[in-house]
Amino acid sequence: MAGRVDALYFFLLALSTFFSLLIAGLIVFYAIRYRRRDPLSVGVVLHGMMALEIGWTVIPFIISMVIFVWGASVFFAISRPPDETLNIYVVGKQWMWKFQHLDGQREINELHVPVGRPVKLIMTSEDVIHDVFVPAFRVKADVIPGRYTNLWFQPTKPGRYHLFCAEYCGTRHSGMTGEVIVMEPSEFQAWLSGGVQGGSMADAGQKLFVDLACNTCHRPDSLARGPNLEGLFGKQVQLADGRTVVVDESYLRESILNPNAKTVAGFQPIMPTFQGLVTEEQLLELIEYVKSLSALPQVQTR
């Protein structure tokens, strides 16, 4: 995004410079050109000038519309991740960044990504509002407790880039920094496969699903007391109160922590809450497990 953001920024800068110089120049020029030469001279009465009035209304209107349309197109490009992305989960907490790759690889204050692939961060916070900011990529997004926000970028050059927290979050906010390490795809693969203990996030989620006994109710057979989760992610479901909801990360999260908020039609609101029983990371693992059950094509990490 850096090129597009910079182009717009420098356009605005050039535009401001041009008009500042034009206005300041005209003030000086007219002050000298029409200065009072004789203490008894009287100014001429002006009756307005239609062409000038229309000109200085229409021209700024066109310029501001150019800025609006250009800015909106950059904004949409930044806010809409492409369909195929490398997904990485982010949990912010006072005062560190925790990253987890789908393969299970975890890191703190360092984020390794491959060059040339769109990366989507799915982010939440354990405590207060934080904000991921990678100045070199020109991207920034709030990380909010209780919900998932996204940020995407496509690194174009290998290297190490600063990562900052851009939302005041307490005493050591200024120390809540890190690095994005952009690697060649082959190096990234080597990094990813080195040092992974345990399985992927989905595997960890599956284990948790059994440990928490979720599978006693969410099952594909007739003993099911909760919705079958297979192929559910990304689908629309009908709720008991008649509304419909798309099964996304936020809905899964809410259904684990506050199950009776949006009960699926045909089921009793009998699921207990898991608030306080699962950490943010475990929630993400459960979500990743449910995603892995989906019939939708899943984006692979390799």
Task: Tell me which residues touch ligand CUA (CB under 6 A).
Answer: 92, 95, 130, 165, 167-169, 173, 176
CB of 135 to ligand CUA, least distance (A): 15
CB of 169 to ligand CUA, least distance (A): 3
Which C-beta is closer to ligand CUA: that of 9 or that of 168? 168
- Cα three-residue angle 274-275-277, rounded to 5 degrees: 65
Which C-beta is closer to ligand CUA: that of 120 or that of 130? 130
CB of 167 to ligand CUA, least distance (A): 5
CB of 142 to ligand CUA, least distance (A): 10
Which C-beta is closer to ligand CUA: that of 141 or that of 176? 176
CB of 256 to ligand CUA, least distance (A): 25
- Long-range contact set of residues 292-295: C-beta below 8 Å, sequence gap at least 24: 292/202, 292/205, 292/206, 293/229, 293/230, 293/231, 293/232, 293/233, 294/230, 294/231, 294/232, 294/233, 294/234, 295/230, 295/231
Which C-beta is closer to ligand CUA: that of 125 or that of 255? 125
CB of 124 to ligand CUA, least distance (A): 13
Q: What is the rounded distance in angstroms from the CA atom of residue 224 to the CA atom of residue 267?
A: 9
Q: Which two tokens stand for residue 302?
A: 């390799």
Which C-beta is closer to ligand CUA: that of 93 or that of 218? 93
Which C-beta is closer to ligand CUA: that of 163 or that of 183? 163
Which C-beta is closer to ligand CUA: that of 86 or that of 165? 165
Which C-beta is closer to ligand CUA: that of 93 or that of 120? 93
CB of 170 to ligand CUA, least distance (A): 7
CB of 178 to ligand CUA, least distance (A): 11
Amino acid, res. 49: M
Q: Would you say 150 and 80 are in contact if contact means Cβ atoms under 8 Å apart?
A: no
Amino acid, res. 106: R
